[in-house]
Amino acid sequence: MKVLVPVKRVIDFNVAVRVKTDGSGVELANVKMSINPFDEIAVEEALRLKEKGTVTEVVAVSIGPAQASETLRTAMAMGADRGILIRHDGELEPLAVAKILKSVVEEEKPGLVIMGKQAIDDDCNQTGQMLAALLNWPQGTFASKLEIGDGHIQVTREVDGGLQTIDLDMPAIITTDLRLNEPRYASLPNIMKARKKPIAEKTAPECGVDVSPRLKILGVSEPSKRRTGTRVANAGELVTKLREAGVF
Protein backbone atom coordinates (compact mmCIF):
# COMPACT_ATOMS: atom_id res chain seq x y z
CA MET A 1 0.00 0.00 0.00
CA LYS A 2 1.16 3.50 -0.84
CA VAL A 3 0.78 6.40 1.60
CA LEU A 4 0.73 10.03 0.48
CA VAL A 5 1.90 12.62 3.04
CA PRO A 6 1.43 16.34 2.27
CA VAL A 7 4.08 18.52 3.95
CA LYS A 8 4.07 22.31 4.18
CA ARG A 9 6.95 24.77 4.39
CA VAL A 10 6.26 27.18 7.27
CA ILE A 11 8.14 29.57 9.51
CA ASP A 12 10.11 27.57 12.06
CA PHE A 13 8.18 27.28 15.33
CA ASN A 14 11.18 28.64 17.27
CA VAL A 15 11.24 31.90 15.26
CA ALA A 16 9.46 35.02 16.50
CA VAL A 17 6.98 36.01 13.78
CA ARG A 18 7.10 39.65 12.66
CA VAL A 19 4.30 41.50 10.86
CA LYS A 20 5.14 43.50 7.73
CA THR A 21 5.19 47.26 8.15
CA ASP A 22 2.25 47.66 5.76
CA GLY A 23 0.18 45.11 7.70
CA SER A 24 -0.35 42.95 4.60
CA GLY A 25 1.05 39.77 6.16
CA VAL A 26 3.99 38.33 8.07
CA GLU A 27 7.63 38.84 7.15
CA LEU A 28 9.12 35.86 5.32
CA ALA A 29 12.35 37.38 4.02
CA ASN A 30 15.49 36.03 5.69
CA VAL A 31 13.39 33.93 8.09
CA LYS A 32 14.20 30.33 8.95
CA MET A 33 11.64 27.96 7.43
CA SER A 34 11.01 24.31 8.27
CA ILE A 35 8.50 21.49 7.87
CA ASN A 36 5.16 22.04 9.57
CA PRO A 37 5.32 20.14 12.93
CA PHE A 38 1.96 18.41 12.42
CA ASP A 39 3.08 17.25 8.97
CA GLU A 40 6.29 15.91 10.53
CA ILE A 41 4.11 13.76 12.79
CA ALA A 42 2.25 12.53 9.69
CA VAL A 43 5.54 11.55 8.02
CA GLU A 44 6.64 9.69 11.17
CA GLU A 45 3.37 7.75 11.34
CA ALA A 46 3.63 6.75 7.68
CA LEU A 47 7.20 5.55 8.26
CA ARG A 48 6.14 3.49 11.29
CA LEU A 49 3.45 1.82 9.20
CA LYS A 50 6.08 1.04 6.59
CA GLU A 51 8.37 -0.45 9.23
CA LYS A 52 5.51 -2.70 10.34
CA GLY A 53 5.19 -3.97 6.78
CA THR A 54 1.72 -2.47 6.29
CA VAL A 55 2.94 0.19 3.86
CA THR A 56 5.27 -0.34 0.89
CA GLU A 57 5.92 3.26 -0.20
CA VAL A 58 5.76 6.69 1.44
CA VAL A 59 5.42 9.64 -0.95
CA ALA A 60 5.78 13.21 0.33
CA VAL A 61 4.13 16.06 -1.57
CA SER A 62 4.59 19.79 -1.03
CA ILE A 63 2.98 22.81 -2.68
CA GLY A 64 4.96 26.04 -2.79
CA PRO A 65 8.01 27.80 -4.21
CA ALA A 66 11.23 26.11 -5.29
CA GLN A 67 12.50 26.28 -1.69
CA ALA A 68 9.73 23.84 -0.69
CA SER A 69 11.99 21.12 -2.09
CA GLU A 70 13.99 21.54 1.14
CA THR A 71 10.88 20.50 3.07
CA LEU A 72 10.58 17.43 0.87
CA ARG A 73 14.25 16.63 1.49
CA THR A 74 13.54 16.77 5.22
CA ALA A 75 10.71 14.25 4.83
CA MET A 76 12.90 12.02 2.67
CA ALA A 77 15.77 12.26 5.17
CA MET A 78 13.34 10.93 7.76
CA GLY A 79 12.60 8.00 5.43
CA ALA A 80 10.07 8.98 2.74
CA ASP A 81 10.83 7.22 -0.56
CA ARG A 82 10.27 10.09 -2.98
CA GLY A 83 8.81 13.55 -3.28
CA ILE A 84 6.43 15.54 -5.46
CA LEU A 85 6.71 19.34 -5.64
CA ILE A 86 3.82 21.38 -7.01
CA ARG A 87 5.43 24.71 -7.84
CA HIS A 88 3.51 27.85 -6.90
CA ASP A 89 4.76 31.24 -5.75
CA GLY A 90 2.44 33.14 -3.48
CA GLU A 91 -0.28 32.37 -0.99
CA LEU A 92 -2.63 29.42 -1.39
CA GLU A 93 -5.97 29.04 0.32
CA PRO A 94 -6.96 25.66 1.84
CA LEU A 95 -9.51 24.93 -0.91
CA ALA A 96 -6.90 25.42 -3.64
CA VAL A 97 -4.47 23.18 -1.75
CA ALA A 98 -7.16 20.50 -1.36
CA LYS A 99 -7.94 20.62 -5.10
CA ILE A 100 -4.26 20.26 -6.00
CA LEU A 101 -3.90 17.35 -3.58
CA LYS A 102 -7.00 15.75 -5.12
CA SER A 103 -5.24 15.84 -8.49
CA VAL A 104 -2.11 14.26 -6.98
CA VAL A 105 -4.17 11.56 -5.23
CA GLU A 106 -5.98 10.67 -8.45
CA GLU A 107 -2.63 10.28 -10.21
CA GLU A 108 -0.76 8.43 -7.43
CA LYS A 109 -3.72 6.35 -6.20
CA PRO A 110 -2.55 5.91 -2.58
CA GLY A 111 -4.41 3.70 -0.14
CA LEU A 112 -4.10 6.30 2.59
CA VAL A 113 -3.40 10.03 2.94
CA ILE A 114 -1.92 11.09 6.26
CA MET A 115 -1.51 14.82 6.86
CA GLY A 116 -1.15 17.28 9.71
CA LYS A 117 -4.44 18.50 11.18
CA GLN A 118 -3.36 22.12 10.60
CA ALA A 119 -0.43 24.31 9.63
CA ILE A 120 1.10 26.51 12.31
CA ASP A 121 1.15 29.56 10.03
CA ASP A 122 -2.56 30.00 9.28
CA ASP A 123 -4.07 27.44 11.72
CA CYS A 124 -6.95 26.89 9.28
CA ASN A 125 -7.53 23.18 10.01
CA GLN A 126 -9.49 22.83 6.78
CA THR A 127 -7.44 21.13 4.06
CA GLY A 128 -7.85 17.54 5.25
CA GLN A 129 -11.61 17.85 5.58
CA MET A 130 -11.92 19.57 2.19
CA LEU A 131 -9.79 16.90 0.51
CA ALA A 132 -11.97 14.15 2.00
CA ALA A 133 -15.07 15.90 0.67
CA LEU A 134 -13.60 16.38 -2.82
CA LEU A 135 -12.54 12.72 -3.02
CA ASN A 136 -15.64 11.45 -1.24
CA TRP A 137 -13.35 9.47 1.07
CA PRO A 138 -13.95 8.74 4.77
CA GLN A 139 -11.91 10.85 7.16
CA GLY A 140 -10.46 10.52 10.64
CA THR A 141 -9.39 13.87 12.05
CA PHE A 142 -7.25 14.68 15.13
CA ALA A 143 -5.91 11.11 15.19
CA SER A 144 -3.97 10.06 18.28
CA LYS A 145 -3.74 6.33 17.36
CA LEU A 146 -3.99 4.31 14.14
CA GLU A 147 -4.54 0.57 13.64
CA ILE A 148 -4.78 -0.80 10.10
CA GLY A 149 -6.74 -3.97 9.40
CA ASP A 150 -7.81 -5.73 6.22
CA GLY A 151 -9.27 -2.98 4.04
CA HIS A 152 -10.10 -0.71 6.95
CA ILE A 153 -8.40 1.50 9.52
CA GLN A 154 -9.33 2.12 13.14
CA VAL A 155 -8.71 5.69 14.26
CA THR A 156 -8.69 6.90 17.84
CA ARG A 157 -9.33 10.62 17.75
CA GLU A 158 -9.34 13.34 20.37
CA VAL A 159 -12.66 15.08 20.95
CA ASP A 160 -13.90 17.51 23.59
CA GLY A 161 -15.32 14.72 25.73
CA GLY A 162 -12.20 12.53 25.61
CA LEU A 163 -11.38 9.88 22.99
CA GLN A 164 -13.52 8.56 20.15
CA THR A 165 -12.69 5.43 18.14
CA ILE A 166 -14.01 5.11 14.60
CA ASP A 167 -13.59 2.45 11.93
CA LEU A 168 -13.05 3.66 8.36
CA ASP A 169 -13.02 1.88 5.04
CA MET A 170 -9.91 2.53 2.99
CA PRO A 171 -8.80 4.58 1.13
CA ALA A 172 -9.19 7.30 3.72
CA ILE A 173 -7.90 10.69 4.87
CA ILE A 174 -6.22 10.93 8.29
CA THR A 175 -5.19 14.16 10.01
CA THR A 176 -2.71 13.88 12.87
CA ASP A 177 -2.78 15.28 16.37
CA LEU A 178 0.24 16.00 18.57
CA ARG A 179 -0.14 12.86 20.68
CA LEU A 180 0.01 10.42 17.76
CA ASN A 181 3.79 10.03 17.96
CA GLU A 182 7.13 11.78 18.43
CA PRO A 183 8.95 12.33 15.11
CA ARG A 184 12.44 10.87 14.71
CA TYR A 185 15.57 12.87 14.02
CA ALA A 186 17.09 12.38 10.59
CA SER A 187 20.53 10.78 10.79
CA LEU A 188 23.43 12.15 8.78
CA PRO A 189 23.59 9.10 6.46
CA ASN A 190 19.87 9.45 5.74
CA ILE A 191 20.29 13.17 5.07
CA MET A 192 22.95 12.32 2.51
CA LYS A 193 20.75 9.61 0.95
CA ALA A 194 17.83 12.05 0.71
CA ARG A 195 19.82 14.19 -1.73
CA LYS A 196 19.67 11.37 -4.28
CA LYS A 197 15.98 10.55 -3.87
CA PRO A 198 13.79 11.74 -6.76
CA ILE A 199 11.53 14.80 -6.64
CA ALA A 200 8.99 15.17 -9.46
CA GLU A 201 7.91 18.73 -10.23
CA LYS A 202 4.65 20.08 -11.61
CA THR A 203 2.78 23.36 -11.52
CA ALA A 204 -0.71 24.14 -10.25
CA PRO A 205 -2.05 24.82 -13.80
CA GLU A 206 -0.71 21.40 -14.87
CA CYS A 207 -2.91 19.93 -12.14
CA GLY A 208 -5.90 21.67 -13.71
CA VAL A 209 -6.56 23.81 -10.63
CA ASP A 210 -7.48 27.48 -10.53
CA VAL A 211 -5.66 28.90 -7.49
CA SER A 212 -7.16 32.40 -7.72
CA PRO A 213 -7.82 33.69 -4.18
CA ARG A 214 -11.40 33.74 -2.95
CA LEU A 215 -10.58 35.59 0.26
CA LYS A 216 -9.05 39.01 0.82
CA ILE A 217 -6.83 39.82 3.79
CA LEU A 218 -7.87 43.19 5.15
CA GLY A 219 -4.99 43.50 7.58
CA VAL A 220 -2.57 41.67 9.84
CA SER A 221 -1.52 43.01 13.23
CA GLU A 222 0.46 41.77 16.19
CA PRO A 223 -1.45 40.81 19.34
CA SER A 224 -1.55 43.39 22.09
CA LYS A 225 1.35 43.14 24.49
CA ARG A 226 0.63 41.51 27.83
CA ARG A 227 0.51 43.94 30.71
CA THR A 228 2.93 43.49 33.56
CA GLY A 229 1.57 42.02 36.77
CA THR A 230 1.26 43.85 40.08
CA ARG A 231 1.45 42.62 43.65
CA VAL A 232 -1.47 43.07 46.02
CA ALA A 233 -1.41 43.05 49.79
CA ASN A 234 -4.61 41.11 50.39
CA ALA A 235 -7.74 39.60 48.82
CA GLY A 236 -9.72 42.81 49.21
CA GLU A 237 -7.20 44.78 47.15
CA LEU A 238 -7.25 42.01 44.54
CA VAL A 239 -11.03 42.22 44.22
CA THR A 240 -10.84 46.02 43.89
CA LYS A 241 -8.27 45.86 41.11
CA LEU A 242 -10.23 43.18 39.27
CA ARG A 243 -13.34 45.39 39.40
CA GLU A 244 -11.34 48.37 38.11
CA ALA A 245 -10.08 46.22 35.24
CA GLY A 246 -13.65 45.28 34.36
CA VAL A 247 -13.20 41.57 35.02
CA PHE A 248 -16.51 41.48 36.93
pLDDT tens-place string over residues 25-34: 787 778 888 9
Tens of pLDDT along 210-236?
Answer: 888 888 888 888 877 777 778 888 888
**Are the CB atoms for 86 and 65 separated by under 8 Å?**
no
Residue 203's nearest CA partner among 95, 101, 85, 68 is 85
Tens of pLDDT along 154-181?
Answer: 999 988 888 899 999 999 999 999 989 9
Residue 100's nearest CA partner among 202, 199, 200 is 202
With a pLDDT cut of 70, the percent of the chain lying above it is 100
pTM of the model: 0.85
SS3 (DSSP) at 231 = coil
* pLDDT attached to residue 176: 93
Q: How many domains does the chain have?
A: 1
Q: How do 152-159 and 162-169 pair as beta strands? A: antiparallel
Alpha-carbon distances, residue 121 vs 8, 16, 63, 91 (angstroms): 10, 12, 15, 11
Taking 90 as the threshold, does the pLDDT of residue 43 lie above it?
Answer: yes
Residue 86's nearest CA partner among 75, 100, 73 is 100
Domain that holds residue 74: 2-244
Task: Name 165's bridge partners.
Answer: 156
Distance from first CA to last CA of the chain, Å, rounded?
Answer: 58
Q: How many alpha carbons lie under 13 Å from residue 37 in its C-beta half-sphere?
A: 13
What's the CATH code of the domain at 185?
3.40.50.620
